[in-house]
């Protein structure tokens, strides 16, 4: 059996166990809280997530260093970067347009009774776009790595990789050394991935144990609108873009992205999923490392179509619930702000909601209303993260194909890079 199949089975069993715990009210019993959801499940799930996150910084650093070194020319890197950025922005704009249109078709907030006692959300200060730009170049690369600042690590690794190609003999030695490290780090990723079924079981059981079907209740219309648009984006928009711009078989793509999708769903973090996404696009889909090592971490940091979808629907939902009429110009602002918000956000759980505050503020909607949707956000967060990384992988394939860096033999081989159990 392939690892992905095993993970999916464990995931479903985890969901059933979680729902059962919740249904019978066991989630409130001290035994379950202390020894299961707050004990064994938590330990297994978090250990695994920590192990994956442990790999992110070393992997991004060495693979980007090698990637930049393999591209050699800064101009080639510039072209690649420009095209990738453009596609990332384009897919986010499409995501938002569909989200807002569908929200106005379904009207999730019309007739919604705002509860008096909902937890009021207090907005935190988000960094300005200018600060994000200035901070792209780290003053201290070790600090950037220690803090896991992805954009700074990306910039430093690329510069160092390019310098290595220009430094003659010493550069060659370092590149060779880093390539060896890269292989070792990838091996460790592979080993960690083998533990995924148990961890995903535990993580999903925890989520469902304290969520349950009841929680969605009045918010069902909002919840399902977000879900519907996420599905449209994953199963219609990306496949169309893959066929039109990449002349790539979208069915093969959707089959192969599954592994990364289950990791993203289980972890709710694009960032923690980087090692798996990177492995999936290079080993399973045949994208050259020189492209993927840049586009995947970059995408996990700035490209969040799923997050933008939630923000678009949530903005319309809150406007309708509070009786605000958004003008066309304000909707334009929502598209712009949510696109910017997704650029400035790191791929960790729950950040999408935090960034929603900035979007609401810009169009004069009450920021504390985020509290209304906070309770049901976890499941949406997991699903939108899966869409976020699918977008990163789709754009990666399109860009790689256009640069002649997609090995179609690997892409079309159903067995390529598969992990057997
Ligand atoms: N959890 C999402 C991600 O990591 C971000 C978010 O929407 O909260 O991609």
Distance of CA 250 to the CA centre of its chain: 20
Coil, strand or helix at 406:
strand
Q: Distance (Å, rounded) from C-alpha 159 to C-alpha 136?
A: 12
414 within 8 A of 2, measured Cβ to Cβ: no
Cβ(352) – ligand 1 distance below 6 Å: yes
Beta bridge partners of 39: none
Identify the structural domains of the chain with CATH numbers, from first to last: 3-412 (1.10.3860.10)
What separation in angstroms does the CA of 56 have from each of 228, 259, 327, 385, 388? Answer: 31, 17, 42, 16, 17
| Separation of CA 349 and ligand 1 centre (Å) | 5
Take residue 121 and report the two structure tokens written for it.
Answer: 């959300």
Instruction: Tell me the pLDDT tens digit for each residue of 248-296.
Output: 999 999 999 999 999 999 999 999 999 999 999 999 999 999 999 999 9
| Separation of CA 387 and ligand 1 centre (Å) | 10
Residues in the chain: 421
Residue having the nearest C-alpha atom to atom 1 of ligand 1? 349
Cβ(390) – ligand 1 distance below 6 Å: no
Which pairs count as long-range contacts for 283-286, CB under 8 Å and 24+ apart, including other chains?
283/410, 283/416, 283/417, 284/256, 284/259, 284/410, 284/416, 284/417, 284/418, 285/253, 285/256, 285/393, 285/397, 285/406, 285/410, 285/411, 285/416, 286/406, 286/407, 286/408, 286/409, 286/410, 286/411, 286/416
Cβ(278) – ligand 1 distance below 6 Å: no
| Separation of CA 248 and ligand 1 centre (Å) | 27
pTM of the predicted protein model:
0.90
Q: Distance (Å, rounded) from C-alpha 235 to C-alpha 51?
A: 31
Closest CA to 81 of 189, 9, 198, 159: 159
Beta bridge partners of 406: 287
Phi and psi angles of residue 420, each rounded to the nearest 5 degrees, phi first: -90, 150
Residues 6+ away with beta carbon under 8 Å from 367: 121, 122, 123, 357, 360, 361
Cβ(391) – ligand 1 distance below 6 Å: no
Cβ(382) – ligand 1 distance below 6 Å: no
Residue 25 pLDDT: 77
Residue 55 pLDDT: 92
Residue 244 pLDDT: 97
Closest atom of ligand 1 to CA, residue 384? 7
Angle CA 45–292–236, to nearest 5: 80
Residue 212 pLDDT: 54
Instruction: Tell me the pLDDT tens digit for each residue of 116-140.
Output: 777 777 766 666 778 778 888 999 9
| Separation of CA 418 and ligand 1 centre (Å) | 26
Residue having the nearest C-alpha atom to atom 6 of ligand 1? 352
Cβ(349) – ligand 1 distance below 6 Å: yes
What parts of the chain have a pLDDT lower than 70? Answer: 123-127, 212-215, 421
Closest CA to 225 of 141, 107, 114, 399: 107
């Amino acid at each position: 059996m392939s690892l992905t199949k095993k993970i999916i089975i464990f995931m479903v069993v985890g969901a059933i166990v979680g729902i059962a715990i919740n249904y019978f009210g066991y989630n409130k019993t001290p035994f379950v809280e202390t020894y299961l959801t707050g004990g064994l499940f938590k330990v297994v799930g978090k250990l695994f997530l920590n192990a994956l996150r442990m790999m992110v910084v070393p992997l991004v650093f060495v693979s980007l260093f090698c990637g930049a070194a393999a591209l050699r020319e800064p101009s080639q890197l510039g072209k690649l970067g420009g095209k990738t950025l453009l596609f990332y922005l384009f897919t986010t704009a499409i995501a938002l347009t569909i989200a807002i249109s569908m929200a106005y078709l379904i009207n999730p907030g019309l007739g919604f009774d705002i509860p008096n006692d909902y937890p009021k959300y207090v907005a935190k200060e988000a960094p300005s776009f200018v600060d994000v730009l200035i901070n792209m170049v780290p003053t201290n690369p070790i600090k950037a790595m220690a803090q896991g600042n992805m954009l700074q690590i990306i910039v430093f690794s690329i510069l160092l990789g390019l310098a290595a190609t220009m430094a003659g003999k010493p550069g060659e030695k370092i590149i060779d050394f880093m390539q060896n490290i890269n292989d070792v780090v990838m091996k460790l990723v592979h080993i960690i991935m083998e533990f995924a079924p148990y961890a995903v079981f535990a993580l999903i059981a925890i989520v469902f144990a304290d969520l349950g079907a009841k929680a969605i209740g009045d918010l069902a219309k909002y919840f399902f609108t977000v879900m519907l648009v996420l599905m449209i984006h994953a199963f219609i928009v990306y496949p169309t873009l893959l066929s039109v711009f990449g002349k790539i078989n979208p069915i093969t793509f959707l089959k192969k992205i599954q592994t990364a999708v289950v990791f993203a769903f289980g972890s709710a973090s694009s960032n923690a999923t980087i090692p798996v996404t990177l492995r999936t696009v290079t080993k399973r889909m045949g994208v050259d490392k020189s492209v993927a090592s840049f586009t995947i971490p970059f995408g996990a940091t700035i490209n969040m179509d799923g997050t933008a979808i939630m923000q678009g629907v949530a903005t319309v939902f809150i406007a309708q619930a509070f009786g605000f009429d958004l003008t066309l110009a304000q909707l334009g602002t929502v598209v712009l702000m949510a696109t910017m918000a997704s650029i400035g956000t790191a791929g960790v759980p729950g950040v999408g909601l935090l960034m929603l505050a900035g979007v609401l503020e810009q169009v004069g909607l009450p920021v504390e209303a985020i509290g209304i949707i906070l309770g049901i956000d976890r499941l949406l967060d997991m699903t939108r993260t899966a869409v976020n990384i699918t977008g990163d992988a789709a754009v990666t394939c399109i860009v790689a194909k256009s640069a002649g860096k997609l090995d179609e033999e690997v892409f079309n081989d159903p067995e390529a890079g598969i992990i057997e159990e």
